[in-house]
Amino acid sequence: MKCGKKTKVLLVPYPAQGHVTPMLKLASLLLNHGLNPIVITPNFIQINSKEDGISIISIPDGLEDGTPRDFFAIENAMENYMPYHLEKLVQEYEFDGKEEDGIVCVIVDLLASWAVKVANKFGIQVAGFWPAMLATYRLIDSIPDMLKNGIISETGCPLHSGPISISLGQPTLSSEDLPWLVGNSAARISRFKFWTKTMKRSRTLKWLLVNTFPDECHNVRNTNILKTQTDQSQDCPKILPIGPLNTHVTIKNASFWEEDLSCLDWLNKQVANSVLYISFGSWVSPIGKSKVNDLALALELLKRPFIWVLGPTWREGLPKSYLERTSKQGKIMSWAPQIDVLQHESVGCYLTHCGWNSTMEAIQSKTRLLCYPIAGDQFVNCAYIVQNWRIGNRMDGFGLKDLDEGLKRIMEDDEMSERIARLNEMTMGKVASSRAMANLTTFICNVRI
């Protein structure tokens, strides 16, 4: 069978909103290049998007209805149940007698690295997809060197409290900010094993498509402490920055949840740059019910207009009668049309968890950031936002003083708007976009040879 006749590309995202959305956008770009993208998700994912030409196929995850789809349940499903069903799907596409329309490539989110083994089993070309900063990939990929240099233990536990350098001339992290340090001790050890396994699989890939801007890859250089495997060995993927994908393509209704558009009418009635937009993303628990209570009280005392994305479960942390008391001051909703909110002239600042998609959307909208990272790569993103790019500040708590002083530092920095505008051009301007799309075209040409 000749590769040139194959058009199908299977895309396997990690089943979370912040991973599925950029994968759908990548699928749209592949479609524009004459390929036939098929996005594979577990059956508990319900995607509202109906983009013409993009197929979305669900496979069973083996979990019973009502079982919480947390990180560990999903990992178990990906490793032990979903490969069988993906194999059946591949067999259907590859051996259905239609020589002209086989699978040219499988693109696998590294957090869903289980699918790499399936592609390899059938001898299909496979590329990795990294939906976040390259800096985070390099940090995690440097685990062997952190072990060798005594920075972490064999279970990923920090062995000292000093700062960790991401790269020469780039931000530093606290030893407690490493991406796998989430939850209790057992959870941290399990996440560390997950990342170790994921990175071992990633080094077998020929290509790694990264949802970042080209200049980020040039600016990240490793120190002697964190010299990554990708810089020491030929057994590593070719890194191709193709992002940020949120600026290259628009996908309608890519959200798992219905967006509440009523907030846009509410924003139209507010003073320019007065509204604080608050969202802690979709993947991890926002901040905990006690902190929800603290932030709610601080917002009420601050008397500043706000929009707060807060799911029904977490509203249990709100003070009694809070929604009624603040009905004129603010608007609380389950899910918002985020890019429309961030680009609205009434929004002056975004209190964020520093997820990569949210960070790029804020830069796209030229919105100032108040940062409260919670887990994973968010600490790396926050370090760049605060230390390198200087387009935001980090909060350490949710008291009235924390919120008031944080907002004042953000809103009274007269030069911040200029820095955001420069960063917007560097990440999303015509030159950056052209280079990113050239990288994607190069990849497509390579896999279709």
Quick: pLDDT tens for 201-220. 999 999 999 999 998 865 54
Residue type present at position 430: K
Report the pLDDT averaged over residues 415-442: 95
The 10s digit of each residue's pLDDT in 48-89 is 656 778 999 999 999 988 888 899 999 999 999 999 999 999
The tens digit of pLDDT for each residue in 265-283 reads 999 999 999 999 999 987 6
Helices marked H in 95-244: 114-121, 134-141, 143-148, 185-202, 214-219, 229-232
> Which residues lie below 8 Å from residue 292, measured CB to CB, with a gap of 6+?
286, 310, 314, 315, 317, 318
pLDDT of 96 reads 58
pLDDT digits (tens, 9 = 90+) for 361-383: 999 999 999 999 998 999 999 99
Instruction: Fold for 4-133+189-250+426-446, please state it.
Output: Rossmann fold (3.40.50)
Pick the range with the lowest mean pLDDT from 150-164, 221-235, 250-264: 221-235
User: How is the chain split into domains, by residue range?
Assistant: 4-133+189-250+426-446, 134-188, 259-425
The reply to whether domains 4-133+189-250+426-446 and 259-425 share a CATH topology is yes
Q: Which residue has the higher pLDDT, 314 or 37?
A: 37
Higher pLDDT, 357 or 65: 357
The mean-pLDDT minimum among 1-5, 125-129, 175-179, 443-447 falls in 1-5
pLDDT tier, 228 (very low <50, low <70, confident <90, very high otherwise):
very low
**Could you tell me the strand order of the sheet in which 330-333 lies?**
330-333, 306-309, 275-279, 347-352, 368-371, 392-394
Map residue 90 onto helix, strand or coil: helix
135 close to 38: Cβ distance less than 8 angstroms: no
User: What fold is seen in the domain 259-425?
Assistant: Rossmann fold (3.40.50)
Query: What pTM does this model have?
Result: 0.92
Cα Rg for the chain, rounded, in angstroms? 22
Q: Looking up tokens 């040139």, which residue turns up?
A: 4
